[in-house]
Structure 1
């Protein structure tokens, strides 16, 4: 199994328990959390050429990941 970089537990190691609680108690946070992981995995698949894509699409995915991460960070 390969390691997918930029997982939220790595990005916010001191907030793991808080993320778990928010996922259970806050539907909006749970949606952001799930969407972040979906986009993050898409970026990883593009970067490793598992699912090659053009540079513009990969850049769009990275921007989307960054916006989601910023929203998650604001909630933490």
Structure 2
């Protein structure tokens, strides 16, 4: 769905407290979540505002967001 918010607290609502804890204790985790948020914001901006972008660039942004989401999920599950 275009413009859908994929914020981590929406994607993993049951992990809200753990996300906050890890962000405050682990700089690497915080950097990953910050980059994830940046990508999600950029992708939603492109989708909602119909900003012209190359398909390859758009796909790369979405793939990077997905890879980060997978890494973040893996950390949260450990």
* Structure 1 position 66 matched with structure 2 position 66: yes
1:36 is aligned to: 36
Report the TM-score when normalising by structure 1.
Answer: 0.89
* Contact residue 45 and residue 52 of structure 1 kept, 8 A: no
The answer for unaligned runs of 5 or more in structure 2 is none
> What are the within-5 Å matches in structure 2 for residues 1-76 of structure 1?
5-49=5-49, 51-76=51-76
- Measured on the aligned residues, the alpha-carbon RMSD in Å equals 1.5
SS of the residue 2:20 aligns to: helix
Detail structure 1 runs of 4+ shifted over 3 Å in the superposition: none
How many residues in Structure 1 have an aligned counterpart in Structure 2? 74
**SS of equivalent residue, structure 1 residue 29:** helix
